[in-house]
């Protein structure tokens, strides 16, 4: 049977999500834990509106994070900015999560273990999918996953050994002893915004 590549990717992601879901349904702090696997979206008016809301939540969170990060870098420098990121990132996620929208960040190489992907997204994340993904979730919700790539101003905290200064590295390791989020280059896939829309 002929199956197009996109459909295949979604099915494979779904299968992996199911497998991972069995093992790691624990600590996703803000996402809903869907027990059914995600389904392919049947696009209608409702779904298109949900997609727009997901995209605007992603843009809002990106803009707020960027603003807080550049503010912190100019005022307290990279070491101080780590603490700002630690506090600000979850606060911004809560702030942007409103009116039936939930948002968070995740990765296949996590810095903060609390940023584990929601069950429905876990397979796509492990698979390092490079394009935005949209799926149907339980109760007519839409799940969206948006790739995040590494920019120039990220390497001081996520780059290779010679780009992350020793003080920055020490501060990261102090706050995140299990950090797996260094060694990236500009343009690399760093992680994802996940969004759930009612
Ligand atoms: C000043 C250091 C610093 C800079 C610069 C920085 N980050 Fe981070 N990043 C962090 C910290 C600290 C966390 C953990 C935040 C938390 O506790 O949720 C983090 C977490 C993340 C996460 C969430 C997944 C995870 O691993 O926990 C993503 C995605 C991410 N950063 C991407 C980026 C991108 C893209 C840039 C550049 C635009 C960037 N970061 C710049 C320090 C930094």
State both tokens at 190: 């760093």
107 lines ligand 1 (CB under 6 A): yes
Nearest atom in ligand 1 to 109's CA: 26
pLDDT in tens, 84-131: 889 999 999 999 999 999 999 999 999 999 999 999 999 999 999 999
| Residue 32 or 195, more confident | 195
Distance, CA 103 to ligand 1 centroid (Å)?
15
| Residue 137 or 18, more confident | 137
141 lines ligand 1 (CB under 6 A): no
Contact between residue 169 and residue 157 where contact means Cβ atoms under 8 Å apart: no
CA distance 70 to 75: 9
Nearest atom in ligand 1 to 153's CA: 37
Averaged pLDDT, 181-188? 98
Averaged pLDDT, 11-25? 41
Mean pLDDT of the chain: 88
Q: Which of 77, 84, 94, 105 to mutate to test the pocket of ligand 1 (most atoms within 8 A of CB)?
A: 105
Distance, CA 16 to ligand 1 centroid (Å)?
26
Q: Which of 146, 158, 163, 180 to mutate to test the pocket of ligand 1 (most atoms within 8 A of CB)?
A: 158
158 lines ligand 1 (CB under 6 A): yes
State both tokens at 45: 């008016």
pLDDT at 23 over 50: no
What are 54-58's contacts with CB under 8 Å, separation 24+? 54/101, 54/134, 54/142, 54/144, 54/146, 54/195, 54/197, 55/144, 55/146, 57/96, 57/97, 57/101, 57/103, 57/195, 57/197, 58/103, 58/144, 58/146, 58/193, 58/195
């Amino acid at each position: 049977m002929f199956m197009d590549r996109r459909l295949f990717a979604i099915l494979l992601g779904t299968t992996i999500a199911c497998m991972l879901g069995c093992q790691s349904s624990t600590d996703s702090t803000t996402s809903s834990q869907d027990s059914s696997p995600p389904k392919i979206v049947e696009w209608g008016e409702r779904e298109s509106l949900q997609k727009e809301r997901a995209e605007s939540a992603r843009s809002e969170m990106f803009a707020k994070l960027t603003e807080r990060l550049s503010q912190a870098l100019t005022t307290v420098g990279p070491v101080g900015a780590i603490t700002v990121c630690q506090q600000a990132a979850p606060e911004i996620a809560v702030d942007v999560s409103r009116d039936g929208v939930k948002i968070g960040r995740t990765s296949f190489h996590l810095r903060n273990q609390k940023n584990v992907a929601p069950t429905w997204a876990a397979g796509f994340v492990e698979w390092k999918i490079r394009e935005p993904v949209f799926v149907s979730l339980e109760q007519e919700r839409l799940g969206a996953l948006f790739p995040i790539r590494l920019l120039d101003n990220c390497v001081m905290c996520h780059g290779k050994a010679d780009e992350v200064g020793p003080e920055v590295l020490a501060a990261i390791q102090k706050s995140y002893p299990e950090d797996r989020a260094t060694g990236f280059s500009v343009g690399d896939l760093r992680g994802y915004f996940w969004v759930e829309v009612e």
